[in-house]
Structure 1
Amino acid sequence: MARWEPGARERLVVAAVDLFTEQGYDATTVAQIAERAGVTKSTFFRYFPDKRDLLVAGQETLRQLLAEGIAEAPEDASPLDAVAAGLTRASTAMGSMNRELGPRLKAAVAASTELQQRDALKSVSLAAAMATALLARGVPDAVAALAGELGVLAFKRGYAEWSESDRDGADELAPYALAALDELRAATASLG
């Protein structure tokens, strides 16, 4: 097996998503994922403690980028404008691999209760990161929590639309996430 080839982590994620989609999460083993990725089981465990963690690959980077974007937003930015800065910053980490995996990952998550739970925990974690960054800017707790939740919802909606859109375009994720945030901002005004 080609353990020395670069990109083992990415190959493991792609292999796992493909296998989860083809045969289901429960029927997929770590050995199968490693074999499909062209690495050994020990290489798998160097990157991931178990197969559940493949779903949240890159989550810490995403959390950090969201928080950095919020922290670096202009001082006079509203909470949602700061979230928009976080979404823009986090979108820079999303490339063509993320875009292509989106629909397959969505299908794999939809077919597995365990992956749905893991995805929900990921959302909570991202919302908490944004809320914490907003709190550091002096935003009141309830507003920070709500803005963080809206940020996660905007990211997920934007990502879904981006990953399912025409792949021939060279467009980035950020416009999709920001458009989703604008829709949510408008929707909150109608809540009364």
Structure 2
Amino acid sequence: MAIVCPVDRKEAPDAGARARIMDAAEKLFAGGGYDATPTARIAELAGVPKGLVFHYFPRKIDVLISLVDERTVVTDEEVEAFPGDPAGTLSRLARRIPLRASPAMRRILFREADTHRSVRERLGRLNSEIIRRARFALELALPGSRGDAARLEAAAATFAAVLIYQESLCLLTGHHIDPDAVAELIAHALGNLG
């Protein structure tokens, strides 16, 4: 007769639970802010036990960090430039390399950047990456312009600010900034380069 030992099986966590926790946290953090959102409320909205939240995220701040790192992305597409056409180049860049973040994530980024260093650092990295790509696109569009690095940097930073901040400004004020118009303005300002 064979002796059968019971196997110590731990229940595998629900495969979709982490995503539901992240969705719930995104909604709650965007609505009332990180500090005003208890972990129990995240679990309730996600439809999971509170302990499962801590299984995936040992501390509440880990939920915020994961949201910011995973749900605010600058796509990894190559920069395309049209030599002699900085406005067209920047317009194309605005369409191909958007900041991939929901309106809720943008609210979270700007709200929590003042009080959470990890969020501020992520926003800084996103801004730096968009500036880097815009500057590179402008260098390609304006051959021979590298000698005026300060103006290219200022133009790239201005364009990055529009890409990152325009949706948040639109939510607050209702005013939409057209990236194509900004591209034209920047191209006009850089008109004598290249």
The TM-score, its normalising length taken from structure 2, stands at 0.56
Letter in 2 for 1:55: V
Structure 1: gaps of 5 or more residues: 167-174
Q: Note if 1:149 corresponds to 2:157.
A: yes
Match of 1:117 among 114, 118, 121: 121
Letter in 1 for 2:131: A
Q: Do the aligned residues in 1 keep the contact of 2:131 with 2:153 (CA within 8 Å)?
A: yes
1:85 maps to which residue? 92
Q: Note if 1:54 corresponds to 2:61.
A: no
Deviation at 1:21, TM superposition (A): 1.0
Q: Could you report, residue by residue, the CA deviation over 1:13-47 in whole angstroms, capped at 9, with x for unpaired residues? A: 615734981416xxx89x769736456455559xx
Where 1:55 maps in the other structure, the secondary structure is helix
Q: Do the aligned residues in 2 keep the contact of 1:19 with 1:33 (CA within 8 Å)?
A: no
1:170 maps to which residue? none
Q: Do the aligned residues in 2 keep the contact of 1:12 with 1:44 (CA within 8 Å)?
A: no
Structure 2: gaps of 5 or more residues: 1-12
Q: Could you report, residue by residue, the CA deviation over 1:85-124 in whole angstroms, capped at 9, with x for unpaired residues? A: 1112334956xxx124433442222333443233223211
Match of 1:160 among 148, 158, 168: 168
Deviation at 1:75, TM superposition (A): 3.9
Q: Do the aligned residues in 1 keep the contact of 2:30 with 2:107 (CA within 8 Å)?
A: no
Match of 1:21 among 27, 33, 37: 33
Deviation at 1:152, TM superposition (A): 1.0
Q: Could you report, residue by residue, the CA deviation over 1:137-163 in whole angstroms, capped at 9, with x for unpaired residues? A: 564441543332122111123122233
Name the count of aligned residue pairs. 166
Q: Do the aligned residues in 1 keep the contact of 2:85 with 2:141 (CA within 8 Å)?
A: no
